[in-house]
Amino acid sequence: MSNPLDQLRACTVVVADTGDIDSIRRLRPEDATTNPSLILKAASDPAYADILTRGIDAARALPPSQRLTAAIEAVSVGFGVEILKHIPGLVSTEVDARLSFDIAGTLAQARRLIARYRDAGVPRERVLVKIASTWEGIQAARVLEQEGIACNLTLLFSFAQAQAAAEADATLISPFVGRILDWYKAKTGQDYTPETDPGVVSVRSIYEYYKAVGHRTVVMGASFRNTGEIRALAGCDKLTIGPALLDALAGESAPLTPVLDATRITPAAALPALTEAAFRWQLNQDAMATEKLAEGIRLFAADLDKLEGLLLPRLA
């Protein structure tokens, strides 16, 4: 008899939200996503010391001013290459969060990441470049998609970000379910059921809009706090879930049934395209999205600083 995780796999593409290769090997997800925090955690594990060593050795051949950035990129891609050996689908690798407001810098690093994967024998079709869903990040994704580089727009908390991402023809978005819930619980002091969970409600509204107007952009719920959120989004295009919650879901006894179903959504006309001014105003009016986007960028940047601190002594 199948368990709830197997039942989820039947209606949603299950993605592992981890840089831990042992967990990926055990859980057998279709895809995997990484971010600076997950790479930092994995890079601190002695089991993956060889990935760090290879990245550092490759960077040492460059001028000193380029070594640290090259080492970070090489290590991130090194984890991605190893992960791809254990999954049939895609891996997401994130652009430096400190480039979240720099279109040119984002474009340059995204192209370098894809080149590193190519040099490692990985075609671009198996890689998603993760970019923060700022206005600048979304515009960079627009250019990259036109070049055939698929993008995962992450740190997404609002409908305005989702609309702009689809209008940029991004391959995939990652709405952060749990971080939305965190904000509302902190502000209201309330507990929420899966049906009233603000993160779940947000993802459902984005999913329904995308399917109603025919956007190709994939919706991948992310950042879950409990299995109730996962169950409430069963049927979503993709869900990226950490190993602990994947294990918890597999161990539950209650059956899981699809909730989202694109075939039941009535077609509708798209909203007027967002201008930069309209995007910034709508984001500004959403206190939760404004705060969580800024916080997410800061947290990822802080973990990149720590990763640099781990690598720098070995680059000297």
Q: Where are the alpha helices (DSSP H) in 193-286?
A: 198-213, 227-232, 243-250, 276-285
Specify whether 85 is catalytic: no
Cβ-contact 176, 223 below 8 angstroms: yes
Place of tokens 């990763």: 307
Q: Is 278 exposed, middle or buried (0-12, 13-18, 19+ CB in 10 A)?
A: middle
With b for 16 or more beta-carbon neighbours within 10 A and e for fewer, the 227-241 pattern comes to bebbbbbbbbbbbbb
Structure tokens at 120: 């490692």
SS3 89: coil
Among positive and negative, which fits the CA dihedral 206, 211, 214, 217? positive
Q: Tally Cβ neighbours within 10 Å of residue 145.
A: 17
Catalytic residue among 41, 130, 238, 292: 130
CA distance linking residue 242 with residue 23, whole number of Å: 9
Centroid of chain to Cα 268:
28
CA distance linking residue 307 with residue 71, whole number of Å: 10
Cβ-contact 219, 203 below 8 angstroms: yes
Residues designated as active site: 130
